[in-house]
Chains A and B, each alone.
Chain A
Amino acid sequence: MSLRGFSRLVWVEALLFLREWQAVFLTFVFLPLLLFLFGAIFRREPDVSLGGFAPGDLLVPIPIAIGLASNAIYTLSGPLAVARERGILRRFRVTPLRPWAVLAAQALVVYLMTLLAALLLLALAKLFLGLRAFANPLSLWGAFTLGALSLFSLGFLLGSAFPTARLTYAVSTSVFFTMLLFSGVIIPLDVMPPFMQHIARLMPLSYVLDLLKHAWLGRGHWPWPHDVAVLLASTAAFTLLAARAFRWD
């Protein structure tokens, strides 16, 4: 397979992403709405101490983390199972295309789209909610990328582990909502009862959010090297399992 083939595949995957209105809505409309929703709730709290930060600073990591998780589930895991079930993967298998190239092209497109959404969220937060923290852009990008690696490899694992697309969607959606509930994106880790905090430790999304907070605000629930280690380890584990579970048909 050639570079020409791979870049063409990336281009086509990008077009397909943009033609899927659910994915576009979720990434570029729903996440900003979420940011403003959190902003509205936040402003009603009279006595939150912002500790030198603007509201946007505290809120912006949340929709970014949710965007990574939702795209991992709804544009990687589910559609992978659908493509398998419909025989699309099988058709690629009788071309010189390598199996990783199909997945890599999809992951790359979803990564770039989510990155675009993250930049949009930062811009909106700056304009409407205020941003005072100035993180090192490189460490912010690093945190984002590490989060993408972990959650996307989880997406591919979920997309290969189950026999049918229906089951894949059912399980992936459950995983998604469990992560939302337990990883501090909706209920902050610090106010969770201890049993929930234990469950939160099992969710990769907890560490993604925590690392994003470290990168943006310079503080988080766990020390950042701990987040990095967990995300690297989970990426390795999910990738290994996904590669073993991967099927063309």
Chain B
Amino acid sequence: MKAKAVVVRGLVKRYGRVKAVDGVSFEVEPGEIFGLLGPNGAGKTTTIECLEGLRTPDRGTVRVLGLDPRRDRYELCERIGVQLQTTALYDRIKVHEALTLFASLYRRRGPWGRRFERLVEPLGLGSVLGRHYAALSGGQKQRLHVALALVHGPELVFLDELTTGLDPQGRRAVWDFLLELRGRGTTIFLTTHYMEEAERLCDRVAILDRGKLLAQGSPQELIARLGGEGRIVFSLPPRGAAPRADARVDVEGLKGLPAVRRVERLVRDGRETVVLYSENPKATLLALVKRAEAAGWPLDDLHVQRATLEDVFLALTGRELRP
């Protein structure tokens, strides 16, 4: 069996009275893309920076590539690549100088070619190699920091909120590049509060909220654990527009529909909305429509959605992932 890329057991990190990370345990397999998913302030950065050796855990053990990030700092730093959530470079350094500088700091050499062309082209930096750091756009800076994390061809890459500040196009380019990288055996550890990113990229995710891990598994597993592949959503008539008493939707009774696992009522865009989680959306939908027809329910805005990690988070915490 291959050694784990990352092992975290009982990690606790406090800032004064705040417990930013509260007893977190997980493992990352070599060669996978592992995502730490959670809202702002969940403790993602604190956790990832404990793995990078930038912060000292108050409790628990952390092993990265079999090494202790504090004790074996320099050995570990040779083998990992890091993109920090908040960081910068000297204003007057040029992009190609930054790449050459960072590449020269490591024993190993990345497989990117003499002028890093196989790294900068996919990341869309080819045209700004001669530009000063200060003259880059936010998205270009972000992509440069991703490139610098990869410049020496590390075994394991840590990416903290890698697509913040990227436009959809840049985001997709970075995602594709990371998937290709995984194909070549690089282990990727990323944090995100962006559900689509986790679903697109991650082999496995761990959901973090207020310093605690709520669940971990592949996105498909977590979604399936919710009790359904899909959800059926419709809105209730506005309160003011009192419908005929006999046409009021019997929300509790919907649990009895075939294949329904869970029924949720929430307010979306100011309207009360019903969400049915179903193992078999087709069967549920048919039964729902039949019942609605008989009872005269309007079923405004009725649609079927594939369940997402967003729903997983909502089900686990009762809150939306993104405010």
Contacts and interface: CB of A to CB of B under 8 A. Distances in A.
Interface of A: 1-2, 4-5, 8-9, 12, 15-16, 19-20, 83, 86-88, 90-91, 93-98, 249
A196 B244 CA distance: 96
A79 to B, nearest CB: 9
A17 B111 CA distance: 31
5 contacts: A1-B74, A90-B87, A91-B84, A91-B148, A94-B54
A96 B74 CA distance: 5
A158 B52 CA distance: 28
B77 A95 contact: yes
A16 B92 contact: yes
B104 A2 contact: yes
B93 interface: yes
A89 to B, nearest CB: 10
A194 B210 CA distance: 64
Contact of B102 (A15, A19, A95): A95
Nearest to A19: B92
A9 B103 CA distance: 11
A91 B82 CA distance: 8
The SS class assigned to the B binding surface is loop
B69 to A, nearest CB: 10
B295 interface: no
A221 B284 CA distance: 98
A94 B52 contact: yes
Contact residue range for chain B?
20 to 34
Contacts of B101: 8-9, 12
Contacts of A97: 105
B102 A94 contact: no
B43 interface: no
A16 B93 contact: yes
B87 A91 contact: yes
A88 B78 contact: no
A-B residue pairs, 10 tightest by C-beta:
A8-B104, A94-B82, A86-B88, A87-B87, A19-B92, A5-B105, A95-B105, A96-B77, A91-B87, A5-B104
The SS class assigned to the A binding surface is helix
Contacts of A87: 84, 86-88
B15 interface: no
Nearest to A18: B92
Interface in B86-112: 86-90, 92-93, 97, 100-102, 104-107
Contacts of B97: 12, 15
Contacts of B107: 2, 96
Given A90-B54, A94-B82, A96-B74, A1 B105 contact: yes
Given A86-B88, A87-B86, A87-B87, A12 B93 contact: yes
A249 B84 CA distance: 13
B92 A20 contact: yes
B53 A94 contact: yes
Contacts of A8: 100-101, 104-105
A88 B84 CA distance: 10
A87 B133 CA distance: 14
Interface string B114-141: 0000000000000000000000000000
Contacts of B90: 16, 83, 88
Contacts of B78: 96
A111 B86 CA distance: 31
A158 B101 CA distance: 27
Nearest to A87: B87
Nearest to B145: A91
A12 B87 CA distance: 19
Given A2-B105, A9-B105, A96-B74, 5 more contacts: A15-B93, A15-B97, A88-B87, A94-B77, A95-B102
Contacts of B88: 86-88, 91
Given A15-B97, A87-B84, A88-B89, A4 B74 contact: no
A9 B105 CA distance: 9
